[in-house]
Amino acid sequence: MSGELFTPLPLRSGQVLRNRIAKAAMEENMAGDGQLPDEELLTLYRRWAAGGAGLLITGNVMVHAEALTGPAGVVLDEAAPLKPFSEWVRAGKSGGGAVWMQINHPGRQVGSDMPGVVWGPSDVGVDLGRHSRRFGRPTAMTAEQIKATVTRYAITAHRAETAGFDGVEIHAAHGYLLSQFLSPLVNKRTDRWGGPLENRARMLLDVVRAVRDAVSPSFAVAVKLNSADFQRGGFDADDARQVIGMLEPLGVDLVELSGGSYESPAMSGRAADSRTQAREAYFLDLAKDLVRTSPLPLMLTGGITRRETAETVLAGGVAIVGMGTALAVTPDLPDRWRRGREADRGLRPVTWSDKALASAASMAQVRHQMRRIARGSRPTPSTHPALALLAERRRQRRALRRYRLWLTGPRTTPPGGATTRSSAATP
């Protein structure tokens, strides 16, 4: 078992990852002016690049300027300038690893205070009990909007390759748009995108086909998929197994397994489900089950903080270990493992009984650490979650004002761009 973490992994696209450790996507929400990567984001990725991971996957980059997970989200559409993204690539590659861009559309998971659109497969809103009003009420997408969104994914992937990224990861987990289409609890459509799993998976499969057609054969294409939604009657492990089988013929290099959504935030270790482990590798039992039949290499993310756990994950047949929070606290953890060391400290646990608020506080804690690294400071994992959440909300209010002004202002079409950004009312 020892040493497997630091062996190369060849992928079907021809890429070879230098080791089996990936910095998994975390939503940085750190876009600068114009919803673009700026120097702070570059500093953060230089630090991660120097930490020894074989693969860095960016936080989710939005394919639709009018639909963001948060007001400081990075946008790469047909009107975005490529130079800031090329600089992001250079920062991420400065340590010798590969850099993939995670591309995403939030669907219905858009804040109620955000401008733009709130779309979903159906008009089923996010149910967070007394916190439900935090999200906008979705409208069911038309066939034209679905097709236009598929095209947006392909445009973003093509432009990511042009900027120098080594691959993209299509986000179909955590309750975002493609995950919403997969979920029988959210997708109530009766047309070709609803009903049986093969219909609910149609949009994801169309996105994968469009992306693969838009990029070169040597460009990696991955998919992030829930191993389960952890909601009764929702997308489950048997569904995941079938979807992985559907992805295999489409030229996918890798499937990353995670789980949960805002309604059941298992990705932060808070789902009340016996199939998640209490402290580390939340989805390992499900991953071991899926590995047995998966025709594609799998990456597992969720709660991995120690080398022993990472090696256990690889011993179970998983190809790559993904870490998020652990690298926000200890950005050089892969190099530490190579030298026989572990992290000095972990993030302060959030033990609040309100799981929606606890999940928001946990994400705020992680972003607080990332921002410290981006400013050249050391992480402070003992920061109280309430303080991190209050600071995060202040930053979000400022970012929202900036995003509103940007969204309503003019944008210049880059050389080779087809058109400027469409208005929020169009597909």
Residue pLDDT, tens place only, 194-237? 999 999 999 999 999 999 999 999 999 999 998 876 667 778 88
Has residue 264 got a pLDDT over 60? no
Has residue 287 got a pLDDT over 90? no
- Once rounded to an integer, what is the mean pLDDT over residues 262-284? 52
What pLDDT is recorded for position 412?
60
Stronger pLDDT, 48 or 127, i.e. the higher one: 48
Has residue 321 got a pLDDT over 70? yes
Stronger pLDDT, 154 or 354, i.e. the higher one: 154
| pLDDT confidence band for 266 (50 / 70 / 90) | very low
What pLDDT is recorded for position 377?
96
- Once rounded to an integer, what is the mean pLDDT over residues 322-329? 96
Share of the chain above pLDDT 70, in %: 89
Stronger pLDDT, 24 or 426, i.e. the higher one: 24
List domains and CATH numbers for the chain: 4-344 (3.20.20.70)
Has residue 103 got a pLDDT over 60? yes
The amino acid at residue 410 is: P
What pLDDT is recorded for position 97?
97
What pLDDT is recorded for position 427?
59
Average of per-residue pLDDT values in the chain: 90
What pLDDT is recorded for position 270?
42
What pLDDT is recorded for position 422?
37
> How wide is the angle at C-alpha 73 spanned by C-alphas 69 and 79, nearest 5°?
115
Q: Give the range among 140-149, 173-182, 403-412 with minimum mean pLDDT.
A: 403-412
Has residue 315 got a pLDDT over 90? yes
Q: What is the pTM of this model?
A: 0.92
- Whole-angstrom Cα distance, residue 139 to residue 180? 13
Has residue 278 got a pLDDT over 90? no
What pLDDT is recorded for position 102?
98
| Per-residue pLDDT tens over the stretch 155-169 | 999 999 999 999 999
- Once rounded to an integer, what is the mean pLDDT over residues 66-72? 96
What pLDDT is recorded for position 342?
96
Has residue 1 got a pLDDT over 90? no
**Please, which residues have CB within 8 angstroms of residue 151's CB and are 6 or more apart in sequence?**
210
| Per-residue pLDDT tens over the stretch 28-63 | 999 999 999 999 999 999 999 999 999 999 999 999
